[in-house]
C-alpha cells in the first residue's frame, strides 16, 4: 500500500530551465512533507520540507508547493543545474508517531 | 557523532550465511529507521525504533530479518540465511523523534551495500 507516490520515474530538463517533480499522497493524516536528494552510492540527503500549515516553502533555487485538497506536492528547481542530476524522493510524516513514508523516487537528469 | 554512521560500507557474502549490519545514529536522536533500496527500486521501509522499542516492524520482509537497538543508540540489522534477493543497499536514518517541527527531519547514513553471491 503505497501511501506516497511519485508517478514519474524519470525526468530530463535542459540546464537553466525549471524542473518540476511531483508527488501524491493518500493519507490525510500526513502533516509534514520532505524532499530528499540521492546521488548514486550515497545516502539520501535532506533538501527541503514543508508543514501542512503552509502551502509554499522556498530555499534558494528550491521551492516546495503543497496542495492539501489535492493531496499533492511538488518540488520546483529553478534554474536547473547539471549538479542537480540525482534521484529525488518525497516523504511524508503523519501527525502521530514518527514514521516516514517515502515515494519510489524520480530520477532527474539536467542536460548541459 | 556528526552524522549517521553505518558499517560495513560494503559486504559480499555467500548465500546461506548470516550478516549483521550496524548503525550508529546521530548523538541524541531517539528515533532510528532502517530502509533498503534494491537495484532500480525505491526506498523500502523495514523497521523503526523509538528508543529501544520497535513500534513498527511491519516492513521486515521475512522472519530471516531482525533488528535490535540497545542503549537507545546503536542498532544492528541481522539477516539470517541470506538469499540473492537480499542484495541491496541498507540505509539507516535517525531523527530527534517526538512531535513538533524539530523531530520531523530524518538524516540518512551512507548505507551498507550488501551483495549475496
Quick check: A23 pLDDT over 70?
yes
- Quote the pLDDT of residue B1: 53
Q: B41 touching A, CB under 8 A?
A: yes
Query: To 5 degrees, how large is the angle CA A20–CA B44–CA B76?
Result: 130
* Residue A20: band (very low, low, confident or very high) from pLDDT cuts 50, 70, 90: very high
Measured distance CA(A103)–CA(A74) in Å, rounded: 12
Predicted confidence at residue B99, as pLDDT, reads 54
A44 to B43: CB separation less than 8 angstroms, yes or no: yes
Contacts with B7 (C-beta within 8 Å, 6 or more apart), sequence order: B21, B22, B24, B112
Residue A61's CB: how many other CB atoms inside 10 A? 14
Q: Cell 540465511 sits at which residue?
A: B81
Q: What value does the mean pLDDT take over residues B73-94?
A: 96
pLDDT score, position B81: 97
Measured CA distances, A111 to A11, A19, A60, A80, A83 (Å):
11, 11, 21, 9, 10
User: Testing the interface with B: which of A1, A35, A43 to mutate, by most B Cβ within 10 A?
Assistant: A43
Q: What is the pLDDT of residues B39-64, one digit of tens each?
A: 878 888 899 898 888 878 888 999 99
Mean pLDDT of chain B: 90
B-contacting residues in A 43-82 (Cβ below 8 Å): 43-46, 49, 51
**Mean pLDDT over residues A47-65, rounded?**
96
Amino acid at each position: 500500500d503505497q501511501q506516497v507516490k511519485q508517478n514519474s520515474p524519470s525526468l530530463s530538463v535542459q540546464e537553466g530551465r525549471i524542473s518540476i517533480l511531483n508527488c501524491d499522497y493518500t493519507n490525510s493524516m500526513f502533516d509534514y512533507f520532505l524532499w530528499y536528494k540521492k546521488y548514486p552510492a550515497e545516502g539520501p540527503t535532506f533538501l527541503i520540507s514543508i508543514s501542512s500549515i503552509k502551502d509554499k516553502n522556498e530555499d534558494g533555487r528550491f521551492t516546495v508547493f503543497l496542495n492539501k485538497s489535492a493531496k499533492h506536492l511538488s518540488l520546483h528547481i529553478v534554474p536547473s543545474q547539471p549538479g542537480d542530476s540525482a534521484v529525488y524522493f518525497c516523504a511524508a510524516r503523519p501527525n502521530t508517531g514518527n514514521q516516514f513514508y517515502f515515494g519510489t523516487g524520480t530520477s532527474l537528469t539536467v542536460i548541459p | 557523532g556528526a552524522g549517521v554512521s553505518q558499517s560495513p560500507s560494503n559486504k559480499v557474502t555467500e548465500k546461506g550465511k548470516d550478516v549483521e549490519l550496524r548503525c550508529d545514529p546521530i548523538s541524541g536522536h531517539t528515533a532510528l529507521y532502517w530502509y533498503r533500496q534494491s537495484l532500480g527500486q525505491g526506498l523500502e521501509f523495514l523497521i523503526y525504533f523509538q528508543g529501544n522499542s520497535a513500534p513498527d516492524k511491519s516492513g521486515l520482509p521475512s522472519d530471516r530479518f531482525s533488528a535490535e537497538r540497545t542503549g537507545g543508540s546503536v542498532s544492528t540489522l541481522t539477516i539470517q540465511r541470506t538469499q540473492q534477493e537480499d542484495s541491496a543497499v541498507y540505509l539507516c536514518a535517525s531523527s530527534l523523534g517526538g512531535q513538533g517541527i524539530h523531530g520531523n527531519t530524518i538524516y540518512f547514513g551512507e548505507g551498507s551495500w550488501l551483495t549475496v553471491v
